[in-house]
Every structure is written in C-alpha cells, then in structure tokens.
Amino acid sequence: MPTKTIAGKTVEVDAEGFLVNPDDWSEEMAPELAREEGIEELTDRHWEVIRFMRKDFKERGQIPTIRRIKNVGGIPTGELYQLFPQGPAKKAAKIAGLGKPQGCV
Amino acid sequence: MANHTADKIQKVSIIISRGSLDGVYPGLIMANGARMEGIETNVFFTFFGLEAIMKKRQKKLKVATVGNPAMHIPSLIGILPGMSAFATWKMKQEMEKLDIPPVDEFIEMIADAGATLYACKATVEMFHLSKDDFVEQVDSIINVGTFYEVSAGGSIIFT
C-alpha cells in the first residue's frame, strides 16, 4: 500500500488516495484532503456532512449513502451536490477519511 | 479501477420505457449513479415508463409475476391473487435494505442531484395526459427529435 503525508501525518492510502484505515484520520487532515478534491474551504455545512459520515460509519460500520445523509443526516441532496460537486458520495467519504463507497446508490 | 481520466464518460441520456417496478429501477439506479460520478444526466420516460413520473401512479408500481421465467414462478401460479403484491413487497423490502429509495423518493433524489427529467410527447398524447399528471421534477414534455438534441455529445442507454 502506498503511503502519503497529510497534515504532517503519514498514513496508508489506496491507489485513488482514500485512507485505508479510517482510524488514521483526524480533523486536521480534512482541509488538505478537500483541497485535493478542489474544495478550497470547508464551511460549517461541509463539516456537518463530514461529522455525520464519521459518526454513522463508526456506529454502523458502513459509509452512509446519499439517501442516508439526507434522511438521517439532514443534508438535502441538492445541497450535498453543491457542497461536494462532481461526485458528492465519493468526495465526502474521501475527505472524511473513509474508504471508497462500494454501494450502487 | 483507478482514474481513467481520458475515457471518462461525460454525459448520458437514459430512456426508461417500462412501467413495472423491475422495469423502472435499473434506469433510475443508472441515472442516479451517473450523477454520483459527476456525469451530466438526462432521463427520458416513454411508454409505460411514464408511470414512474405520474403523480397518481408512481407509488403503485408492481413487479410482474407472469411471463418472466427469471422469477421462477410458473405463470399459472403467478396469476393468483396477491402474487404480484407479494413479489412487489419482497422486492421493496430487499431494496430498502440496500438503501435504494421507493420510486417517488428516487425521482426526487435524481432531480435534486441535477439530472434533467423528460416525458415523451408521443406517449403523453397517446395516453391523453398533460404536464399536470406528472410530478414537479419533470422538466418538460419533449418529442423524439428534441430528445436527440438534448442527448447530443453523450451516450444513450435504453432500458
């Protein structure tokens, strides 16, 4: 597995740059990961998505779907696409230090 | 698996032509999945596929239990009262487990995700329907020529 230094910490990543171990992630890494995805600044709403995804993943062991981010996390789908343009599920998961989502929805 | 940047699909237009539950879902999943990948997406509902965007019909779509060998239900049994309802209930239950939404919620999500939804003009006229029969997420009723115009530069997928 390749490694990468994010916010001063060296972590294992996969070929597409997703963290291999979600436990390696810390909030300090998020801004740097976001910039790689073309998001210059993380707003409070971005953080709401990231924290919900982290919390839900910890509780259920699965990366939440866009539907779950809407119905349980309370972030409308349209807004999610604005916050994380061009592929919100994958981008948000990457910034949140989770793996690549494997589901079809 | 990795980034095939050069080959990345930029745009798709998906046609949904069937009105059973198992007929509309593949197209909806493909459309939603396209938006999730940042692909520009049109969805064109035609013939019985229109049921998925009709206010009065979209929550009532059923799985057909007759004439589908892959269901593994003999047609003579498939015609029994309740068989279609049972198969529909079962499929919806399995979908819910995968977090796949019911048709009405799915249509809303796909529109919110930025896909553009169209109804087929020929079918609308054939069934004597109007824009009011459709959910608000439907952008417009277009003819086949316009469909090809809006599909320009992308792939077309027929389901």
Domain range summary for chain A, segments of one domain joined by +: 3-95
C-alpha distances (whole Å) from A44 to each of A38, A41, A51 are 17, 10, 10
B39-86 pLDDT tens trace: 999 999 999 999 999 999 999 999 988 888 888 888 888 888 888 999
Select from A60, A62, A72, A105 the residue whose CB has the most chain B CBs within 10 Å, as the one to mutate to test that interface: A105
Read off the amino acid at residue B136: E
Task: Note the pLDDT tens digit of each residue in A20-64.
Answer: 999 999 999 999 999 999 999 999 999 999 999 999 999 999 999
How far apart (Å, rounded) are the C-alpha atoms in residues A35 and A28? 13
A104 is catalytic: yes
- Give the separation between CA B13 and CA B149, rounded to whole angstroms: 11
Nearest CA among B31, B40, B5, B20 for reference residue B153: B40
| Three-state secondary structure of A18-87 | CECCHHHCCHHHHHHHHHHCCCCCCCHHHHHHHHHHHHHHHHHCCCCCHHHHHHCCCCCHHHHHHHCCCC
Structural domains of chain B sorted by starting position, each given as residue range(s) with its CATH number in brackets: 14-62+102-158 (3.40.1260.10)
**pLDDT score of B3:** 53
Its pTM stands at: 0.91
For A68, nearest residue in chain B (alpha carbons) = B99
Tokens of B14: 């998906």
What pairs with residue A6 in β-bridges?
A: A9
Tell me what pLDDT residue B54 has.
Answer: 97
A66–B contact, CB cutoff 8 A: yes
Please give the ipTM for the structure prediction: 0.90
B21 touches A97 (CB < 8 A): no
Give B-chain residues touching A17 at CB under 8 angstroms. Answer: none
Residues of B in contact with A78 (CB under 8 A): 112-114
Torsion of CA B101, B105, B92, B52, to 10 degrees: -130
